[in-house]
Amino acid sequence: MGRASIACSLISANLWLGSGAVLGQSAAAVSLRALIATPDLYANRPITVIGRFRGRIGYDQGAAGFPPNRSRWNFLLNAEDTEVWVSGIRPAGWDFDLDPSSPSDARTGAWLEVTGTVRMTRRAGRSCNAGPVCRNVWIEASDLRSARAPSASGPGLTPRPPLQSPTVVFNDPINDEAGVAPSTAIRLQFSRPMIPETFSEHIRIAYTSGQALDASPIPQFSATYSDATRSLAITFASPLAGRQSVRVELLEGIVAANGRPFEPWGFVFRTGD
């Protein structure tokens, strides 16, 4: 079985602040799912949001969308497939103390109520003349506390569908495909955003057809996750053996960004000459 290394290529998701809150001196209650269409409406205004703590493991602090003040406590807050950066405050209180660099804290995903001021900048570049994808949005927090998961309805909140577990929606090669080039790369796409570091040590690739005792094992491989396309690319250090059946397995322990576990899954293909 080959040994894997994991690389993370992430593009931070943009969040939108949607209508439905009453503007004023006090913080407006806004759901993360309602962050749609008009972040300008809330720019430089106080809001309160509820979401799950997701830390910042695997996120490049120099990437687009990351808060510019580079606080050591910057972390992501998410609900379903929506996430926003929170900056400037330590995620700790009388009944919790969370570490943005801790994978276990990110996987646990404690619910937090965050109050702060919405900040927004526009990305530079010819391709970013207008439109929401060219905005960076984050919350400059002034207060946070532990919270329960939002109820189905409430001030600023919309009904919440059940969190869905991630599945593989595309794989190349396909299951039982024959004649695959030994130099192939394996590509998978997921139905939900994933936590990149959970792929580490949870990918198994092996030959399933009989081999001589002195036959070469599966070459070393690396896996690179792209948040922008929810896809995983697995590449090998050298070509696979020809005329061999190869099984690819994703094992228990892989987790989606919404906290739902990925059910173990696999497929088989056969290499050509």
Stronger pLDDT, 181 or 229, i.e. the higher one: 181
pLDDT in tens, 2-43: 545 555 433 333 333 332 333 344 677 777 766 534 666 677
What's the confidence (pLDDT) of residue 159? 45
The two three-digit tokens of residue 27, written as one number: 């913080």
Amino acid at 65: G
Closest to 138 measured CA to CA, from 56, 80, 196, 197: 56
Residue whose entry in the numeric block shows the structure tokens 């905005």? 135
What's the confidence (pLDDT) of residue 246? 95
CATH of domain 11-146: 2.40.50.140
CATH of domain 163-271: 2.60.40.1220
Burial (Cβ within 10 Å: 0-12, 13-18, ≥19) of residue 174: exposed
- What whole-number distance in Å separates Cα of residue 205 and Cα of residue 177? 16
pLDDT of residue 46 exceeding 70:
yes
The two three-digit tokens of residue 142, written as one number: 């002034």
- What whole-number distance in Å separates Cα of residue 92 and Cα of residue 8? 27
Stronger pLDDT, 111 or 45, i.e. the higher one: 111
- Which residues have CB under 8 Å from 201's CB, separation 6+? 4, 253
The two three-digit tokens of residue 84, written as one number: 């926003």
- What whole-number distance in Å separates Cα of residue 12 and Cα of residue 172? 25
Stronger pLDDT, 134 or 53, i.e. the higher one: 53
Closest to 118 measured CA to CA, from 146, 85, 147, 145: 85
Closest to 3 measured CA to CA, from 241, 236, 249, 182: 236
pTM: 0.48
What's the confidence (pLDDT) of residue 227? 83
> Where are the CATH 2.40.50.140 domain residues in the chain?
11-146
214: phi > 0 → left, psi -120 to 50 → alpha, else beta; which?
A: alpha
The two three-digit tokens of residue 175, written as one number: 């299951």
> Which of the four pLDDT bands, split at 50, 70 and 90, describes residue 189?
very high
pLDDT in tens, 98-135: 998 888 888 888 999 999 888 887 765 555 554 445 67
Mean pLDDT of 74-86: 83
What's the confidence (pLDDT) of residue 118? 82
- CB of 6 closer than 8 Å to CB of 199: yes
Transcribe the chain into DSSP letters: ---EEEEEE--PPP----S-S--SSSPEE--GGG--S-GGGTBTSEEEEEEEE---TT--TTSTTS-TT--TT-EEEEETTEEEEEESS-SEETTEE--TT-HHHHHHT-EEEEEEEEEEEE--STT-SSSGGGEEEEEEEEEEEE-PPPPSSBTTB---PPPPPP-EEEEESPTTEEEE-TT--EEEEESS-B-GGGGTT-EEEEE-S---TT---PPPEEEEEETTTTEEEEEESSPPPTT-EEEEEE-TT-BBTTSPBPPPEEEEEEE--
> Where are the CATH 2.60.40.1220 domain residues in the chain?
163-271
User: What are the beta bridge partners of residue 8?
Assistant: 225
